[in-house]
């Protein structure tokens, strides 16, 4: 076969392929109404819940799904201040909350509410020693238990570790999920960008009051700009006729574009004392007049990390296991990203059932279960 024959064949193939491309494009254009309808239809926060305690803008939610409690010890979720409460209860098949509720845990979640200008002076002491502590007290009061289980995600995980260190008498088991505690490594973007020589957090909070949601959202997007601003939409175009893909896509978009501001003083303290000075892991962090010493944590700990996490690399979470005083401690590093750990299909199939059983073994079953 000569080069001329090959080139002729190539042009015929290209012509056929171009025709197919136009047909595909027409099919995608025709599916647009369905895309819009799916975007309208997608709902998040699927597990029924009711508020059982309110303080300022905070609400403590109790999940009710008609399942009888199988365990004495209740479970409290604490997530990052920048997120809404539905992130761990996104949709059917992608709900972390659902795993625990279906297994029979009396499950609670803290909805932080949206801080306004008037909340700019809320600090770490307010959030950890007041809001979280009051929620824990309320859960203990409702369930008649002295101790509860806590699951903290991302910044909420750091806050959970701080709380467990200040109030070890209230925590029976602690599960941390992509929770940063050690910022000594400077090899990823967020750590570099927030270094004191590049980011004056005092000035930032003085000017803005609270850390604006849009600003936080853009910072997260810029961690992986090509993926978040290009590849994602190329994938969307390629899969826009797939109903399930669309449902997942719009649920995720809702999460990613629905951040809330973080109270100014809390943000300032977290960035300055945790991210810039790395005081938490060194046992130097002060909350009010008390020092946070991670060695005070003696309860069983399960530390979940994601191997492809671009926001909280494993190196920021795993040192916790060496810093605590617990003897029953375990770490699972799952092949996923920061969000995949919470919503990835593989994580829900392979990891979360194991996590639920880990907690079930340590939570004291009720009689008859």
Partner 1 sequence: MVDTPGAFPGADAWMKFWSDAMGKMSAAAGIPGMAGMPGMSATPGAEACASAFSQACSPSEMVTKMQQAFLEAWAKSLDQYMRSETFLAMLKKSMENALAMRQQMDDLLRKTLHMGQSPSRADTSDIMQFLHSFEDRVLDQLTVLTRRVDEVEAAVGEKPKSAPKTK
Report if residue 121 touches partner 1, rule: CB under 8 A: yes
Q: Which of 20, 41, 295, 354 binds partner 1 (CB under 8 A)?
A: 20
Minimum distance from residue 126 beta carbon to partner 1 (Å): 6
CA atoms of 62 and 91, how far apart (whole Å): 17
The helix (H) or strand (E) run that includes residue 38 is helix 32-41
Per annotation, catalytic residue among 126, 129, 248, 309: 309
Report if residue 22 touches partner 1, rule: CB under 8 A: no
**For partner 1, which stretch binds (CB under 8 A), given 12-20, 55-63, 83-91, 324-332?**
12-20
Total residues in contact with partner 1, by rule CB under 8 A: 44
Report if residue 329 touches partner 1, rule: CB under 8 A: no
Report if residue 51 touches partner 1, rule: CB under 8 A: no
User: Is 69 designated active site?
Assistant: no
**For partner 1, which stretch binds (CB under 8 A), given 25-33, 77-85, 196-204, 332-340?**
196-204
CA atoms of 175 and 297, how far apart (whole Å): 12
Report if residue 142 touches partner 1, rule: CB under 8 A: no
Report if residue 25 touches partner 1, rule: CB under 8 A: no
User: Is 154 designated active site?
Assistant: yes
CA atoms of 81 and 153, how far apart (whole Å): 10
Return the CA Rg of the chain: 23
Q: Could you tell me which of 172, 176, 165 has the C-alpha nearest to residue 77? A: 176
Per annotation, catalytic residue among 89, 111, 126, 338: 338
Report if residue 134 touches partner 1, rule: CB under 8 A: yes
Q: Which of 50, 65, 117, 214 binds partner 1 (CB under 8 A)?
A: 117
Report if residue 26 touches partner 1, rule: CB under 8 A: no
Extract the tokens encoding 28.
């995608």
Asked if 177 and 152 count as a contact pair (C-beta separation under 8 A), the reply is yes
CA atoms of 346 and 41, how far apart (whole Å): 25
CA quadruple 24, 29, 30, 35: dihedral sign: positive
CA atoms of 186 and 193, how far apart (whole Å): 10
CA atoms of 276 and 200, how far apart (whole Å): 11
Report if residue 198 touches partner 1, rule: CB under 8 A: yes
Per annotation, catalytic residue among 89, 106, 154, 274: 154
Report if residue 364 touches partner 1, rule: CB under 8 A: no
Q: Which of 40, 66, 68, 197 binds partner 1 (CB under 8 A)?
A: 197
CA atoms of 90 and 342, how far apart (whole Å): 9
Spatial strand order in the sheet of 301-306: 49-55, 58-63, 107-111, 75-78, 148-153, 171-177, 301-306, 329-334
User: Is 299 designated active site?
Assistant: no
Question: Which residues sit at the interface with partner 1, rule CB under 8 A?
Answer: 3, 6-7, 9-10, 13-14, 17-18, 20-21, 117-122, 125-126, 129-130, 133-134, 189, 192-193, 197-200, 203-204, 207-209, 222, 224-227, 230-231, 234, 288
Give the residue numbers annotated as catalytic, written as ranges: 154, 309, 338
């Amino acid at each position: 076969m000569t080069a001329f024959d090959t080139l002729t064949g190539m042009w015929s193939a290209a012509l056929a392929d171009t025709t197919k491309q136009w047909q595909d494009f027409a099919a995608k254009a025709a599916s647009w109404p369905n895309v819009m309808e799916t975007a309208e239809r997608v709902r998040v926060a699927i597990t029924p819940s009711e508020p059982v305690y309110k303080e300022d803008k905070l609400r403590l939610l109790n999940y009710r799904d008609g399942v009888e409690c199988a365990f004495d010890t209740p479970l409290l979720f604490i997530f990052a201040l920048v997120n809404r409460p539905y992130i761990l209860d996104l949709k059917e098949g992608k709900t972390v909350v659902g795993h625990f509720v279906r297994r029979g845990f009396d499950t609670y979640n803290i909805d932080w509410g949206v801080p306004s200008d008037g909340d700019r002076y809320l600090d770490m002491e307010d959030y950890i020693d007041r809001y979280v502590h009051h929620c824990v007290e309320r859960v203990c009061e409702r369930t008649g238990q002295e101790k509860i289980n806590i699951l903290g995600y991302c910044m909420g995980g750091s806050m959970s570790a701080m709380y467990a260190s200040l109030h070890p008498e209230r925590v029976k088991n602690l599960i941390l999920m992509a929770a940063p505690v050690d910022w000594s490594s400077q090899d990823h973007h967020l750590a570099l960008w927030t270094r004191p020589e590049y980011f004056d957090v005092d000035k930032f909070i003085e000017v803005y009051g609270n850390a604006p949601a849009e600003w936080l959202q853009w910072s997260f997007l810029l961690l992986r700009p090509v993926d978040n601003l290009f590849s994602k939409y190329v994938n969307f175009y390629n899969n826009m006729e797939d109903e399930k893909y669309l449902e997942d896509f719009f649920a995720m978009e809702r999460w990613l574009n629905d951040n809330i501001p973080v109270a100014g003083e809390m943000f300032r303290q977290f960035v300055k004392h945790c991210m810039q000075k790395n005081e938490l892991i060194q046992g130097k962090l002060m909350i009010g007049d008390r020092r946070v010493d991670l060695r005070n944590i003696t309860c069983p700990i399960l530390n979940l990390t994601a191997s492809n996490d671009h926001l909280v690399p494993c190196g920021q979470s795993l040192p916790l296991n060496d810093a605590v005083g617990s003897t029953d401690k375990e770490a699972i590093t799952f092949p996923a990203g920061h969000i995949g750990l919470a919503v990835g299909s593989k994580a829900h199939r392979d990891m979360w059932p194991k996590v639920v059983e880990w907690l079930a073994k340590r939570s004291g079953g009720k009689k008859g279960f």
